[in-house]
Amino acid sequence: MASVFLYHVVGDLTVGKPELEEFYETETIGSAIRAIRESTECGITVWKRKTHMEMAENNDTRQQRFVGILTSLDVVAFLAKPQCLEDQDKAMKTLVSDVVVPDNALLKIVDPGIRLIDALEMMKQGVRRLLVLKSTVWKGMSKRFSILYNGKWLKNVDNSSCNSLSINVSAPSSAASSASSSSSSTPPFMRNKFCCLSREDIIRFLIGCLGALAPLPLSSISSLGAINHNYSSIDASLPAAEATQKNPGDPSAFAIMESTPDGRHRILGEISVSKLWKCDYIAAAWALANLSAGQFIMGIEDNVSSRWLTDFINNSLDNGVESTRPRKISSMSSGYSPVSPTFGV
């Protein structure tokens, strides 16, 4: 099982990944919505444009151009502001630079020879995207298992560097030197072509290695310690907009809680980047500003959330403002049957 993490490198995950298309901070929110919907990670990386002096840039200057990550939750929270709801056309033309939260540490440029276990540790420490140089050239015995990555992975390995994350991820010990030797043989049209790897990409890769991970896939989630009890939450009876006033941290999600008669709490659903990813952003923004958290997630949990939210808006407008006031939501009265377990608080 350990071999999957020790002998695989991030270069194994770049096969078939499209080249990174930079999304610039000078684009509009309307363009960002389209880009997010077309992405596979519910969010997009935002970049500063290259200056004339940076046309032939290195990893350091490229890292400095990275601004942050814009998610579906960020966009909906912005559109839910009163001034945006009053003038939606103006809001959609707002520059991304006015909305995205700058955080240069969310992305790291790494060499293709970085071990998968080191990449996982970086993401554990808060990195959400890995920018990796693409290459069509593979050497060694296997494209899938990189024990002999570029023919030199274990031959000249520096143990002190491999066992420490204090190394420079842009030039990771012997793996970097071996990868750089292969870059010289990379066709000119493939040089300086990067792809962006996310946590989802690593999960998809590991799913393809389930057999090698045995007996881990057969273990329960609780026995693996994978349940996180320190999550951001909001009561279902509170306005949904209160979720936008808190920092959800990582992951970008809020659990919607309901109190039970015995004094415990039950999770009804969540407000998260994944739930908002493909929804109607304008309708979701209106709902976020006008509905309670319980009412909001009842629509988001629906498979046709866009239609549900639109119908809810129309019904609320027909019935007056009274229906939009926050009220106590019960999963029993709403007909929503939670699948999440009940946790004591």
- Write the CATH number for 16: 3.10.580.10
Q: Is residue 170 part of a domain?
A: no
Same domain flag for 281 and 203: no
The reply to whether 60 and 18 lie within a common domain is: yes
Within-domain flag for 63 = yes
Q: Quick check: is 201 in a domain?
A: yes
Split into its structural domains, the chain has a count of 2
Query: Considering 169, 184, 218, which residue would you say is the last residue of a domain?
Result: 218
**Residue 226: inside a domain:** no
211 and 287 co-located in one domain: no
Kindly state whether residues 204 and 270 are assigned to the same domain: no
Whether 149 maps to a domain, the answer reads no
- Domain for residue 177, yes or no? no
Domain membership of residue 227 (yes or no) is: no
Range of the domain at 283: 233-303
pLDDT 10s digit of each residue in the chain, 345 long?
667 777 788 888 888 888 999 999 999 999 999 999 999 888 999 999 988 765 678 889 999 999 999 999 999 999 999 999 999 999 999 999 999 999 999 999 999 988 999 998 999 898 999 999 886 554 433 344 444 334 333 333 344 334 433 334 344 434 434 444 444 444 444 457 899 999 889 888 888 888 778 788 888 888 888 888 888 889 999 999 988 887 777 778 889 999 888 888 899 999 999 889 988 999 999 999 999 999 998 876 554 444 555 565 566 555 554 444 433 434 333 333 344 433 333
In this structure, the answer to whether residues 197 and 68 fall within a common structural domain is: yes
Rounded to whole angstroms, the Cα distance separating 32 from 38 reads: 10
Q: Are residues 255 and 214 in the same domain?
A: no
Residues 213, 237 share a domain: no
Q: Are 111 and 248 in a shared domain? A: no
Q: Do 200 and 266 reside in the same domain of the chain? A: no
pLDDT value of residue 224:
81
211 and 299 share a domain?
A: no
The pTM assigned to this predicted structure is 0.73
Question: Are 67 and 211 in the same domain?
Answer: yes
pLDDT number for residue 83: 96
Give domain status of residue 155, yes or no. Answer: no
Q: Quick one: 59 and 207 in the same domain?
A: yes
